[in-house]
Amino acid sequence: VPDAGSYTCMCGDQKTKATLKVNALPVFFQEELKNKEVIEGESTTFQCKLNKAASVEWYKGSKLLKPDGKFQLKQEGSCVELVIQGLDVTDSGDYTCKCGAQKTTAKLTINALPVLFIKSLKDEEAMEGKVATFQCELNKISAPIEWKKGHKILKSGSKYKMKHEGKIAELVIQNLEVTDSGIYVCISGEQQTTAT
């Protein structure tokens, strides 16, 4: 603190001396974090304000957050921000800004987007003994899916090979037989796409 130090008063050859000790104001949050509710895929910003500039740390639960492609930590004087990009459901939880012993916490709730098929199954025609492949695309990465032939749930094995990488789901039917003809369905939640 610049005003702290020794002060001397002199009058002729007389002088007196005193020391000034300035106690710094404790840091506290003038404006606390507010709870947020946002839709999956969007970005959000948590903001809070201290009574004076001081360094802070951000946490999700007990995990210390570091700046990366997902999290941006910003500070301008006593105003601090946490920007979270590309939100998904796993980002829900409590976020805390800490400054020494002081802290403020808010809850982030992410509302999941419904799963939709953005590329439907297409009808296939193949020769007996060959391979047929059905493929569809969802709007969400690794959304849970299930394959059916008619009403029968299909399991991966020597006859059926199922792949699900990112947003693409694929069913491969090996060693085709005439009895493999029928309606094939890919289901995710309440959405489905069909082909023959």
Are 70 and 102 found together in one domain? yes
Residue 13 lies in a domain: no
Are 121 and 91 found together in one domain? no
Of 111, 137, 159, which one is at a domain's C-terminal end?
111
Are 77 and 123 found together in one domain? no
The CATH number of residue 175's host domain is: 2.60.40.10
Are 98 and 149 found together in one domain? no
Are 62 and 132 found together in one domain? no
Residue 20 lies in a domain: no
Of 80, 111, 142, which one is at a domain's C-terminal end?
111
- Distance in angstroms (rounded) separating the CA atoms of residues 113 and 93: 18
Q: Write the CB contacts of 33 (distance below 8 Å, at least 6 apart in sequence).
A: 46, 47, 48, 95, 96, 97, 104, 105, 106
Query: Exposed/middle/buried for 21, CB within 10 Å: 0-12, 13-18, 19+?
Result: exposed
Residue 152 lies in a domain: yes
Of 63, 92, 111, which one is at a domain's C-terminal end?
111
Number of structural domains found in the chain: 2
- Distance in angstroms (rounded) separating the CA atoms of residues 97 and 30: 13
Are 123 and 84 found together in one domain? no
Are 85 and 153 found together in one domain? no
Are 99 and 141 found together in one domain? no
Q: What is the chain's alpha carbon radius of gyration, rounded to the nearest angstrom?
A: 31
Residue 45 lies in a domain: yes
Output the pLDDT for position 1.
57
Are 130 and 99 found together in one domain? no
Domain that holds residue 70: 29-111
Which residue from 119, 122, 114 is spatially nearest to 189, judged by alpha carbons?
114
Output the pLDDT for position 23.
77
Averaged in consecutive runs of 10 residues, what is the pLDDT profile of the chain (196 residues)? 80 86 86 96 96 96 95 97 94 97 97 92 95 95 90 95 95 96 95 94
Residue 17 lies in a domain: no
